[in-house]
Structure 1
Amino acid sequence: MSSARAGDDPATGDRLPFAASPPDVRGRGFSSRAALPVMEGWIDATVGPLPPRAVALADLPATLAEGLVLAEPVKAPGDWPPADRAARDGVAVASSDTLGAGSYNPVPLPGAVTVAAGEPMPPGTDAVLPVEAMQADGPFVEALGSAAPGEGVERRGEGLRGGTVLLKAGHRLRPQDLGLLTALGIDTVRVGARPRVRIVLAGGPRSGPETLGAMLTALATRDGGVVELVGPLPADRAALAAAYAAPGADLLISAGRTGVGEDDVAPLALAEAGQLALHGVALRPGDSAALGTAGGVPAVLLPGEPMACLTAYELLAGRALRRLAGRDPGLPHPAVPAVVVRKLVSEIGCTELYRVRRTADGMVEPVASPHRPGLAGAVLADGFVLIPAESEGVPAGATVTLRCFDGTSL
């Protein structure tokens, strides 16, 4: 948890506009819903990164698939290369000894030393003559061409100067990074924490929340979490509150029982386990999501309908988890411009997520409207377009930002 007060706007420090204890909406409905930026602001003000962890370079190859993200910048510990070295195979020479050499005027090189690429330059030499520009007669070497000072040589610090920032904080480590770190003799790096995420499936068999377990586990793992899956639990307020408040988690995510039915008790259970800060978001799908704390850690309640659950995870729960893990809290989906085939209709006052796919000519068209439930549209889609709350839609032919789903090629 960060030191900022829950509910403070991270940009201005002002209190965000939500009630200290949202009302019970069961059987009544939502009188209002918080704008998506308000929900994001609560997360940003409440959730901060966990302490980073040190990882030995020898262990990195086995853990690279975790998506390790640097918590601190990595600087070159010294010049690279640390001394002048041969950039090619040949003989190391003093360039002045090769002046005037040619195929019709071989020049003896009594001080020549055979070197391989990467070897240090011997004292008194400043160039590497390639093998095709020399001839050997027993132990005697003759130059058949001249070499300029520094020719065939990689100078000290030519690749990197000591203190140069190689990799910035937030950089996701790649295999080529490990090679360079090894060459520089760096044996340990500090990376973002792997938050412990408790995912509670709320509501019991009737609501089918168990179908969400695999999806949420994969999403939380992608964002750097280590998942503990609990349930499905019955729609029982006390049972859910106990699961929410149990120790051992850095983030609570609950799926199901967030709506307006009599057995939608997840928000009440969260209030009992800690604090229900916000319930209801002007987001479609996903409008019954909630935020708060349980057992002293951030908590995000997701709707039980699968597409609403996916949407609320990506925009809310995923943001909280990525912040805990020291990652960029923004959406992890590649963003590319695209032109819409036909108008995307939207309601002013509500952020809407349209599932879209690319057409043969490179444009995008909707697969399913924000009102349509189910994951089939998301499976058939290449990505999604977010239409902000202040917009009434996107006209045909307009350029939008396409967010590509995981595994979709750009």
Structure 2
Amino acid sequence: MTAPPFRDVRGRGFSRRSTLDAAWAWIDGRVAAPSARPLPLAECCGLVLAEAVAALGDWPAADRAATDGYAVAAADTLGAGSYNPVPLTGAVAVVAGDPLPPGCDAVIPYESAQAAGPFVEAVDAVAPGGGVERRGAWMAAGSPLLPAGRRLRPADLGLLAAAGHRILPVLPAPRVRLLLAGGPKAGAPEQLGDMLAALVRRDGGVVEAVAALPADMDALAETFAQPGADLILSAGRTGTGPDDAAPPALAKAGSLDLHGIAMRPGGSAGLGSAAGVPALLLPGEPMAALAAYELLAGRAVRRAAGLPAALPHATIQAVTARKLVSEIGCLDLHRVRLDDDGKVEPVASPGWPGLAAAARADGFVLIGADSEGVPDGAPVTMYDFTMYDFTMYRFA
């Protein structure tokens, strides 16, 4: 595919911007999950199952005690009561998980028995099968356990171990190279590395490296072109200033296919490739970087991990407490909170920089490029900053 001509916006500004739909189509057309790989069970947490998994055998493998007590023949306890203790000459002490001894079909708990010298007496009757987990009660050989596409949780590993699995076919986590281009200006502390690395991990990726580089086109281009990563994220120096070297560096290393997205914040984001690897450019302003990650880079990481591309946030249906102002021709990400009545109100405009407002927000509302805003009292969908829709991750 021939790379589009590079349009240098430094000192000129953006003559046009691509739609978010066009950016999503670019990501969906270039980012895909890798081939499945067999990995030991202990290394699979958080990865996506490539194939459905079934039980290799019955579990439990035999009838076993479900509680601590005495394994008995239930018929031997008939008529037992607190005023009529029944001796149990064949009782065998067991703990939960022990296989039932031959001739036993129930477990009487300690509370329903009492010691009488060297013997045990039942003070309550027990029915056949009482206190027992039957063979195959939790799973039978060949029964389905987990579907393909499920992102594995810690509890899943225990279930799979019980089912006899030691190696699983999974989609390996994508290796993400994270570049911080130019660093913060005016002595401000670095704010992007930890935040973006955490977001990459949330979406199923592994950060290959976090490299801070000067705003130098040649140094950036060289790092873009280095092999080893499945995906490259670069944050900073994407705008129209003279030191905004990330876009020309990506164009030099490979291609800059889209630069400038009709969204606020994050409108100076870009997409391209280097050494055959998709690369996404995020703005250096922290809130713009967060927005561009959520709406662009996160989609790429999730697709590379074999997860659904859609936003992972849990959603809340609410109404606005007051109008959310937007701009025609640009998708706006509004940081919002829920007031005491459960209504949505803005905590900052889409153009307001900094992460302080995001910390005060409960989530965000997206207003489409064809809208001038949302009036007060109108229904909206809020994407929750603090909760994630795990059905999107196929946990359910």
Instruction: Give the TM-score normalised by structure 2.
Output: 0.83
Q: Is the 8 A contact 2:314 2:387 kept in 1?
A: no
Does 1:41 pair with 2:16?
A: no
1:69: Cα distance to partner? 4.8
Match of 1:116 among 88, 95, 107: 95
Please state if 1:248 is matched with 2:228.
Answer: yes
Asked whether 1:268 is paired with 2:268, we answer no
Q: Give the corresponding residue for 2:346.
A: 366
Alignment of 1:160-179 (within 5 A): 160-179=139-158
* In 1, Cα distance between equivalents of 2:53 and 2:247: 43
2:214 is matched with which residue?
Answer: 233
Paired residues of 2:286 and 2:355 also in contact (CA < 8 A): yes
Partner SS, residue 313 of structure 2: coil
The match for 1:324 is: 304
Deviates more, 1:211-220 or 1:301-310: 211-220
The answer to whether the aligner puts 1:351 opposite 2:331 as a matched pair is yes
Aligned partners of 1:151, 1:204: CA distance in 2, in Å?
Answer: 67
* Letter in structure 2 aligned against 1:43: I
Cα distance change of structure 1 residues 257 and 91 upon mapping to structure 2, 3 Å threshold: closer
Secondary structure at the aligned position of 2:59 is classed as: coil
Tell me the SS of whatever aligns to 2:67. coil
Q: Which runs of 5+ in 2 are unaligned?
A: 389-396
Superposed, 1:159-238 pairs within 5 Å as 159-203=138-182, 211-223=191-203, 224-236=205-217, 238=218
Structure 1 residue runs of 5 or longer lacking an equivalent are 1-5, 8-18
| Per-residue Cα deviation, 1:169-221 (whole angstroms, up to 9, x for no partner) | 45444443444344444334454423332233334675889553343333334
Identify if the C-alpha distance between structure 1 residues 262 and 132 changes in structure 2 by more than 3 Å, giving closer, same or farther. Answer: closer
Shift of 1:47: 0.5
Q: Is the 2:322–2:377 Cα contact (8 Å) retained in structure 1?
A: yes
CA distance in 2, matches of 1:180, 1:100: 40
Instruction: Kindly state the Cα deviation for residue 286 of structure 1 after the two structures are TM-superposed.
Output: 1.3
> Residue deviations 1:375-400, cap 9 Å, x none?
23223322211122333322222332
Is 1:76 the counterpart of 2:55? The answer is yes
Q: Deviations over 1:259-312 (max 9, x none)?
A: 334554433332222122222212111112111111110011122332222211
Structure 2 counterpart of 1:151, from 87, 110, 130:
130
Please say if residues 35 and 282 of structure 1, whose CA atoms lie closer than 8 Å, have aligned partners that are also in contact.
Answer: yes
Would the alpha carbon gap of residues 136 and 213 (structure 1) be closer, same or farther in structure 2, given more than 3 Å must change? closer
* Matched-pair identity in %: 61
**Structure 1 residue 106 displacement after superposition:** 5.2
> Structure 1 residues 117 and 262, CA, compared in 2 at 3 Å: closer, same or farther?
closer
Q: Pick one of 28, 40, 43 that aligns with 1:56.
A: 40
When residues 382 and 141 of structure 1 are mapped into structure 2, their CA distance, relative to the original with a 3 A threshold, is closer
- SS of the residue corresponding to residue 334 of structure 1 reads strand
Distance 1:110 1:389, change over 3 A: same
What are the superposed Cα offsets for residues 89-143 of structure 1, whole Å, 9 maximum, x if unpaired?
3333333444444456555544443333221122232222334444554555554
RMSD of aligned residue pairs (Cα, Å): 3.3
* AA partner of residue 128 (structure 1): V
Change (3 A) 1:330 1:166: same
What is the alpha-carbon distance in structure 1 between the residues aligned to residue 195 and residue 264 of structure 2?
Answer: 19
Distance in 2 between residues matched to 1:125 and 1:38, nearest whole Å: 69
For these two proteins, the number of residue pairs brought into alignment is: 386
1:13 counterpart residue number: none
For structure 1, which segment, 279-288 or 101-110, has the greater mean C-alpha deviation from structure 2 after superposition?
A: 101-110
Structure 2 letter corresponding to 1:125: C
Q: Residues 47 and 173 of structure 2 are in contact (CA less than 8 Å); yes or no, is this contact kept in structure 1?
A: no
Mapped to 2, the partners of 1:319 and 1:208 lie a distance apart of 32
1:95 aligns with 2:74: yes
Q: 2:319 maps to which residue?
A: 339
- Distance in structure 2 (CA, Å) of the matches to 1:339 and 1:393: 13
1:30 alignment partner in structure 2: 14
Q: Deviations over 1:149-173 (max 9, x none)?
A: 2222111111222334434445444
Match of 2:289, SS? helix
CA contact under 8 A between 1:22 and 1:279: conserved in structure 2? no
Question: 1:388/1:165 Cα in 2 relative to 1: closer, same or farther (>3 Å)?
Answer: farther
Give the direction of change, closer, same or farther, for the CA distance of 1:120–1:36 in structure 2 (3 Å limit).
same
Q: Distance in 2 between matches of 1:278 and 1:158?
A: 56
2:284 aligned residue: 304
> Which of 384, 391, 394 pairs up with 2:364?
384
**Secondary structure of 1:405 counterpart:** strand
State the 1:352 CA deviation: 0.8
3-state SS, counterpart of residue 192 of structure 2? helix
In structure 1, what is the equivalent of residue 269 of structure 2? Answer: 289
How far apart are the structure 1 equivalents of 2:43 and 2:237?
42
- 1:86 equivalent in alignment to 2:70: no
